[in-house]
Structure 1
C-alpha cells in the first residue's frame, strides 16, 4: 500500500486494488488495516461476508478495533451509499488521523444500467470527499470481473494498486468530465401504457393524482411515502429552478416504479444531487433527497430541457 505524507493527511486518497488471487487481496487488506490502526485511524471494511470472516481471522485480536459491514447491505443504492460514507467520515474524522475504508462494490446480478450508475458513484467519490481525511481502497477481482468494470476502475480511481506495486492511473477522468457509455444519448422512451400528470406552480393537484396512482398499485405505506416525496422534490425543483411547469410520467417495470419528470428548463449543475447540499443552502436539496429515496436516478439535460428518471423499488 502506498504510504501518505503528513502534509497530505487531510486530503482524499482513492485507490483501486486490482487483485489476482485471494491471498494477494487478504495480505494487502490486512496490511492496510494494521497500518491504519497503528496510525490511530478509524478503519471500516465493507466486503462480502466470506471475506469478512477471512480478514477477522487474519487480523486476530486487532479485528475488534475494525468495523465490518456486509457489502450487500452497504451497496444498495448509489445515493444512499455516498450519504452513508459522508456520515461515517463526519462521525469518525479527527484532527490527526484518517478514516480508512476498504470497499468491494457488488457487481454480480447488476443490470447494465445499474453497473453504469455504480461506476459513476465511484467517480463522484473523488469530488464528494476531495477535501476529507479519508483513504479508500476499492477491491476489484481481475479473475471474475468483466473488462468494462475493470476499465471503469481505472477511469474512476486516481491511483491503482496491483501485486507489483502502485501507480497513478493513466485513464483517470475528472468527475466533472466523467461519462458512462450512452450518456450522450437520450434515455429510452417510456412504454405506451403510462400515466401522465402535468404540473405547474401549484403542485397540490399533482400530488393528489400521484397519491391515487400509488394507492392503485397497492404499495406499502412507507414505500408510497418515499415515492411521493421523491417525485414532489424533483417537481419542486422544476417549478423553482427550471421552467416552472412540466410533466410527470409513470409506469412499472417488473417490481420497479419508473417516473420521468421533464421540463423545458436546462440543468447546468455538475454532479446533480450527488454532493451533500451545504447545511446553510436555501435550496438544492431536492435531487439529493430523491437519490436517498430511489434505487437509481438518471439525468439528461440539453438545450431543450431536463429529464430526470427515478427508479423506485415497489417492495
Structure 2
C-alpha cells in the first residue's frame, strides 16, 4: 500500500481506493491523542473524504478547539455513547450510514473511540470481536478507520486485543504494521472457545417442530411478559427467536428446543439445534447482499443486544440476549 503521506488516500498497485485502512491509535495523554488525530482529520478534509468523528462530547470539544471552527464545521461529529448501546448495533449502524450517506460522498475517514467503562466481561469480549469484524465487514470498501485507545486508563487485555484486531498501528511515529495482528476468523474462534454456561434450573423450556411456530411465539410472548420485558422490546425479541427456530425447522433437523430465563437485567433465550453444525465464523455478522450472506442471522443480531453461538458434533446452540431495563 502506498500514498502521499501517513494519512493520505490509501491506494493499491492499480490506484484503486477501495482498500480498507484500519488503525489503532494508542495514546497516553490528551496531548498525544491530538498530535495524531488532528492531522488525520485535516488530511481527510484536504482529500475530500467524508470525515466522521465518533467520540464522547469532551473529546469532541478538544478536537473542535484544535481543528478550528471552519474545519470542524465540515466534519460530522457523533456521540459515541449513543452508538455504543451494543457492538452489533454499532457495526450495523455504521455500515448503514456508510452505504447511504458517507460512501456516496467519497472515501469514509472515521475516527472512533468506543466507550469501554461499565461493560460486563461478555460485553467487553463482544466489543473486542467488533474490532476484528470491522476488517471483514468493511473489506474492499473506500474506508479509513482509526480507533483510539487510552493506554493510561484501559486494562491491559483491551489494549492487547486492540493490537491483535488492527492491521496497522498509528501514533507519533506514523503507521506501522501491527506485529501481533490476528486474522479475524482466528480471533472470533478464540472468542467462542469453550461452552456456554448452562441455563439455570428455573428456565422455562419448550420444544418446537414443523407446524409449531405459532404456539412457540405465544409461549415467548407469555414468558417475556412474565419476566418483565417491556412491550416495546417484546416483539423484536419474539421475531429474533422465531427466525432462529424457523431456520432450524427449514435447514436443520426440523425440530429443536429452547429455554427462557431472566438474569442480570437481561431476558435470555437459548435455542438448541441437535443436528446442524455451523462452519461460518461470521454468520450474521456480514451484511446481506450480492455475496449471499445470511440475512436472517444479520437481522437476529440486530434485534438483540448480544447473540452467542456454539456449534460442534452435538449440534448448534444460539443464545440471544435482550436488555430488560
Mark the CA change 1:43 to 1:9 in structure 2 (over 3 Å): closer, same or farther.
same
Give 1:211 shift. Answer: 1.4
Candidates 28, 38, 46, aligned match of 1:20: 28
Find the counterpart in structure 2 of residue 276 from structure 1. Answer: 287
> C-alpha separation between the residues in 1 aligned to 2:215 and 2:198?
25
Find the counterpart in structure 2 of residue 38 from structure 1. Answer: 46
Is the 1:263–1:305 Cα contact (8 Å) retained in structure 2? yes
Find the counterpart in structure 1 of residue 127 from structure 2. Answer: 118
Gapped regions of structure 2 (runs ≥ 5): 1-5
Give 1:143 shift. Answer: 0.7
In the TM superposition, 1:1-315 aligns within 5 A as 1-6=6-11, 7-60=15-68, 61-91=70-100, 92-94=102-104, 97-179=106-188, 183-202=192-211, 203-264=213-274, 265-278=276-289, 281=292, 284-315=294-325
Aligned residues between the structures: 313
Gapped regions of structure 1 (runs ≥ 5): none
TM-score by length of 1: 0.94
> C-alpha separation between the residues in 2 aligned to 1:304 and 1:225?
30
Give 1:270 shift. Answer: 2.7
Give 1:229 shift. Answer: 0.8
The DSSP-based 3-state class of the residue aligned with 1:56 is helix
> Could you give the per-residue CA deviations for residues 56-90 of structure 1, whole angstroms, max 9, x where no partner exists?
12111111111111111111111111111111221
Give 1:93 shift. Answer: 1.2
Give 1:309 shift. Answer: 0.8
Moved more, 2-11 or 290-299: 2-11
> Could you give the per-residue CA deviations for residues 32-52 of structure 1, whole angstroms, max 9, x where no partner exists?
111101111001101111001
> C-alpha separation between the residues in 2 aligned to 1:5 and 1:268?
33
Is the 1:15–1:161 Cα contact (8 Å) retained in structure 2? yes
Is the 1:198–1:246 Cα contact (8 Å) retained in structure 2? yes
Find the counterpart in structure 1 of residue 3 from structure 2. Answer: none
TM-score by length of 2: 0.92
Is the 1:34–1:62 Cα contact (8 Å) retained in structure 2? yes
> Could you give the per-residue CA deviations for residues 196-240 of structure 1, whole angstroms, max 9, x where no partner exists?
111112211111111111222343222011111111111112112
Give 1:292 shift. Answer: 0.7
Q: CA RMSD in A?
A: 1.7
